[in-house]
Amino acid sequence: MSFKWPWQYEFPPFFTLQTTLVTREKQLEAWSRLVVDYCQFHKIYTVDLADISNSELFVNSTLNRKLSLDGVRIVFDYLEHTRHIDWLDKNKNRCHIYWRRPEEWAILIYEWAVSNSLLNTPCTLYEITQGDDVTQESFYGLDKDVLLKSLAVLVEQRRAQLLNIGTGTEGLIAVNHTGSGFLSNKEIIEEGDTVIIYVNYGTSYAVEVKRGLILTMRYGALKHEYLIGKRYGSRISATAGYVYVLRPNAEMWTRALLRRTQIIYTPDCALILMLLDVKPGSIVCECGTGSGSLSHALAIAIAPTGHLYTHDIEGTRVKQVELEMMKHGLGEITTCVHQNVIEDGFSVENMCDAVFLDLPAPWIAIKHAKRALSQVHGGRVVSFSPCIEQIQRTCNALQYEGFVQINTVDETMASKRPKLEDDTVAMKSEMQCLMKENNHKCSTSALLPFPAAQPTHTGYIISATLLPSILS
Amino acid sequence: MIRTGDHVIIQKMGGEHLRVCKITRKTKILIEKLRFEIDGAIDQPYGLFEVSAGKVTRVAPESITDIAASFDFDTVSISSLSRSNDISNAPNSWRSATEETSSTNAAQARQKVTQDEIIKMKDTGVPAEQLIAKLVDGSASFSERTVYSQNKYINKKAKKHSDHVYLLKPTLRLVAESYYKKDPERVLHLRIDLLSHLLALSGIHYGSRCIVFEQCLGLLTSAIITRLGGSGACIHLHRGNIAQAIPCVDSMDFDKEISSVFLPLRISNLLEESMEETEEPMNVAKQFITMGTCVKKQEAVLMDEGESLSKKNEEAEKQEEKEDDRNIAIGEDGGGNASAADDCSLERRAERQRLQRQAWQLMQNAEIEILFIASKNINPVEILEKTWSSLRLSSTIVIYCPIAEPLYSAYHWLKIKNAVQVQIVDAFYRSHQVIQDRSHPIMQQFITGGFILSAVKVEQR
């Protein structure tokens, strides 16, 4: 099998650097693709510019055309920009070429390790590129330098560690799983991940996947092994039916979590995040960790550079939420503090962008919240209380402490669905009549609340702004 | 810091209106009849400012507490010493008869300070506190009112004559509230609680990859870009050749890193299911041809009844075609300037095409995690059909519509596609007055809203 040249290779202007910017961009893209494909086909890992600029790659004898040395350099600059090469010398004459980028190799190697149950197992570099298990993999025979670069990507993602044992020339690798995917974009379920098992509307379970465990539910039993290696969103057969396995997010976690206190539900969580002006990079104090429902929403919204300081008076709850955050990959951006905020204040001062209070007596904590907020940027305070008397006292305290834009709202969210055909007998006969005449589906005309019992009050939400008080 | 060229949110203290305004020297602001020039605020921190004789100066932070106490909320405590006479006991007839001799103006009989005097005091820069004090002194019946009535009177005058404004950094909350209160129809009646709920149901976070189609001035796109924080992708489907009519995005003053996730993609590429420009041979002659023409429309696209997505897009394309023709004419007329303008235009065009290719690649690889739709007169099923294959498993779909009917067809379409967690929600949201002994919901406020349909895509049977 010989290398198949693209159509551009037979096109004389392809070998002349184009002056039009748009055209040049297309030209360079085509050249970079050609170079990568050519090196992949011939298994070339290291390129010497002087050699390759005279090879058939850049010289078309039949056309009597050749890309100039300047042109070749521009192509390799483009490849460097797209991270397909790394220069080996300062004069930029020799380079490594990656027909897949190291990130792409890293994904393939990691998926191989997952599907072969090699997580937390040491492997030698030889085993990864020359072992019997990998003869069918595309990275079989991979160049050692390229392999090391790919493994460096995994190390950076905290999915691998490089170990040196015995002679320095042979490395060993241990592949560790990362914390589960509230923030990740993974496709494949791995051991240690937290997944949402969706049974039906209103029934779902949060499960930490571990070999040997079984989840028991209405549709039978489900072994965790069946989940490992599947894609999120897959349909999984259980012994008496099937379920779906979903990637978790804050909203699904709120539905599925084990409740240790009364929690704040999604509509209020969402509004609180909006009123706090939370975004990636924000620093937030929360008081009243509770079951961690809002904590998850806050931590996910501020990741990856923000930080959440969450406080609770109950030590056991603090420990449990802290453990959950660690498992869910949010541990690095969350600090759980066992502290009585009413008496001792928050654990940070003069650095927060937002403070949230879910307390029986939030008016006592307002002065502590003010101290926690940044004096240079100001910030936002939100408090959640079920009773209007609590809101009155909180409002007075906010005003006394110099907060402005004090605003109190409440929200009631109703879940609904279209009226279904079998809801009434009359609808049936009407539908039959229509189907006979027009053979098209009867359309619905109303929304019904579903389920029938839904919350009509959750709490009042009071929000306020602290203006900056120090010139930056 | 407030800088020239930035946007700022302006709100009168005690007022309801929020305005988004771009700051330049000599900008004149008018908000709720308060008029001033913005120059005094430039290079100051965001915060509270005082208006005096058309100029604006920053209020010292130490004074904020006192000012807030004076204006926003009642701090007059109920004292056993204060009188609580009922107004009905006032000898109205006697007082009226006496004052009839001095003035024929009924309102003037109750207030000694004349309108001209008020205007003169305002023009000369008298502080609002003094103005209100004079009005209180001049009120014929103030001393005979109940404490509640007195406080209400003072607050009413304070709101009317207040000379303090907030100049605040734009945030998603303030921009959303500003546009909603100004003209809710143009943002599809998308209240901040519904906007926040859309974001929560979608599960968006740093690094998510999203597709968004919206008809609400870029408000939803602003929310998505804010939450992405500079990582991930926000593929913005738009009509015509350039993403336009998104003032909310402009108002947020996103920096370059945060804006890098914004990938506009023409809806016509989606309809034709191709990125023809990517496959163009690099022929200079063809380059000229494509520069002045629109992408050819696929005749096979079915035309739906009523307003169709294709039809609206065609109209927009025609408009763009006219503009392109005009540009070509100008280009032909000009000499050196034309080539310079062409270079700049070509660079922008190249950048735009690069972003489109990036967006198209993400969609073709089925790497999209969230689909947002906020539409008014476009059937969301059309968009779902074109984007469904771009969504990967366990991705979320959230659709917003100010009326419920379009969501019925989307609901059934998603059910047929075996999506799970399909639900439709709407919300009731209101503000409250919270003052000691006088707490109640605010009696009149904007209540228009819409409906949200959300679902999760899973493996087919």
CB A106 within 8 A of CB A150: yes
Q: Are residues B159 and B269 in the same domain?
A: no
Give the mean model confidence (pLDDT) for residues A308-319: 89
| d(C-alpha A339, C-alpha A315), whole Å | 8
Q: What angle do CA B258, B47, B205 make, to 5 degrees?
A: 25
b/e string for B327-349 if b means 16 or more Cβ within 10 A?
eeeebeeeeeeeeeebeeebeeb
Question: What pLDDT does A128 receive?
Answer: 80
Residue B372's H or E segment, with its range, is strand B368-374
Q: What's the pLDDT tens digit per position in B56-93?
A: 887 877 677 667 666 543 333 322 223 333 344 444 44
Question: What pLDDT does A119 receive?
Answer: 62
CB B177 within 8 A of CB B16: no
CB B407 within 8 A of CB B450: no
Q: Are residues B125 and B256 in the same domain?
A: no
Test the B interface: residue of A409, A419, A456 with most B CBs within 10 Å: A409
Give the mean model confidence (pLDDT) for residues B38-66: 82
Question: What pLDDT does B306 receive?
Answer: 36
More confident residue, B87 or B217: B217
Q: Is residue B290 part of a domain?
A: no
Q: Is residue B47 part of a domain?
A: yes
> Given an 8 Å threshold on Cβ–Cβ distance, is A244 in contact with B420?
yes
Radius of gyration of chain B (CA): 29
The residue whose two tokens read 């090469």 is: A85
Question: What pLDDT does B90 receive?
Answer: 41
Q: Are residues B204 and B134 in the same domain?
A: no
- Mean of pLDDT over chain B: 75
Tokens of A19: 């002056």
DSSP state at residue A422: G
pLDDT at A265 over 50: yes
C-alpha separations of A404 from A26, A272, B29, B66 in Å:
55, 17, 22, 11
Q: Are residues B253 and B115 in the same domain?
A: no
Helices B115-123 + B128-138 axis angle, to 10 = 160
Chain A residues within 8 A of B400 when measuring between CB atoms: none
Q: Is residue B261 part of a domain?
A: yes
- State the DSSP string of B95-143: HHHHHTTT-S-HHHHHB-S-HHHHHHHHHTT--HHHHHHHHHHHBSSGG
Question: What pLDDT does A284 receive?
Answer: 95
Residues found in chain A: 472
Question: What pLDDT does B193 receive?
Answer: 93
Burial class (CB in 10 A: 0-12, 13-18, 19+), A20: middle
More confident residue, A422 or B196: B196
Residue B201 belongs to domain with CATH number: 3.40.50.150
Cβ count near B66 (within 10 Å): 12
Question: What pLDDT does B274 receive?
Answer: 63
CB B188 within 8 A of CB B450: yes
Question: What pLDDT does B69 receive?
Answer: 62
| Domain end point (choices B139, B154, B169) | B169
CB A265 within 8 A of CB B197: no
Test the B interface: residue of A11, A247, A384 with most B CBs within 10 Å: A247
Ordered alpha helix ranges (H), B104-263: 106-110, 115-123, 128-138, 147-161, 172-182, 192-202, 219-228, 247-251, 256-259
Give the mean model confidence (pLDDT) for residues A110-134: 72
More confident residue, A355 or A193: A355
Q: Are residues B367 and B436 in the same domain?
A: yes
Q: Are residues B182 and B37 in the same domain?
A: no
Q: Is residue B322 part of a domain?
A: no
| d(C-alpha A246, C-alpha A204), whole Å | 10
Domain residue limits at B151: 1-66+107-169
| d(C-alpha B343, C-alpha B352), whole Å | 14
Å from B347 to nearest chain A CA? 7
Q: Is residue B335 part of a domain?
A: no
Question: What pLDDT does A274 receive?
Answer: 93
Question: What pLDDT does A426 receive?
Answer: 44
Q: How many separate domains does chain B show?
A: 2
Q: Are residues B132 and B201 in the same domain?
A: no
Å from B369 to nearest chain A CA? 9
CB A286 within 8 A of CB A263: no
Question: What pLDDT does B310 receive?
Answer: 47
More confident residue, B225 or B85: B225
More confident residue, B106 or B223: B223
> Given an 8 Å threshold on Cβ–Cβ distance, is A233 in contact with B343?
no
Q: Are residues B60 and B199 in the same domain?
A: no
Q: Is residue B293 part of a domain?
A: no
What's the pLDDT band for B283 if we cut at 50, 70, 90?
very low
Give the mean model confidence (pLDDT) for residues A105-123: 73
Q: Are residues B179 and B141 in the same domain?
A: no
Q: What's the pLDDT tens digit per position in A13-36?
A: 888 888 887 887 778 878 887 888
For A67, the 3-state DSSP assignment is coil
The residue whose two tokens read 């406020």 is: B445
More confident residue, B444 or A127: B444
CB A362 within 8 A of CB A390: yes
Q: Are residues B217 and B358 in the same domain?
A: yes
Question: What pLDDT does A295 receive?
Answer: 93
Q: Is residue B208 part of a domain?
A: yes
> Given an 8 Å threshold on Cβ–Cβ distance, is B408 in contact with A301?
no
DSSP state at residue A373: B
pLDDT at B301 over 60: no
DSSP state at residue A257: S
Q: Are residues B218 and B250 in the same domain?
A: yes
Q: Looking at the partner chain, which of B420, B425, B457 has a beta carbon nearest the beta carbon of A414?
A: B425
pLDDT at A251 over 90: no
Test the B interface: residue of A26, A182, A230 with most B CBs within 10 Å: A26
Å from B171 to nearest chain A CA? 7
Q: Is residue B325 part of a domain?
A: no
Q: Looking at the partner chain, which of A22, A305, A409 has a beta carbon nearest the beta carbon of B430?
A: A409
pLDDT at B401 over 90: yes
> Is the peptide bond prior to A451 cis by the omega test (within 30 degrees of 0)?
yes
pLDDT at A182 over 50: yes
Give the mean model confidence (pLDDT) for residues B373-387: 89
| Domain end point (choices B130, B152, B169) | B169
| Domain end point (choices B154, B169, B184) | B169
pLDDT at A247 over 60: yes
| d(C-alpha A330, C-alpha A308), whole Å | 10
Q: Are residues B364 and B435 in the same domain?
A: yes
Question: What pLDDT does A242 receive?
Answer: 78
Question: What pLDDT does A44 receive?
Answer: 80
pLDDT at A355 over 90: yes
Question: What pLDDT does A297 receive?
Answer: 95
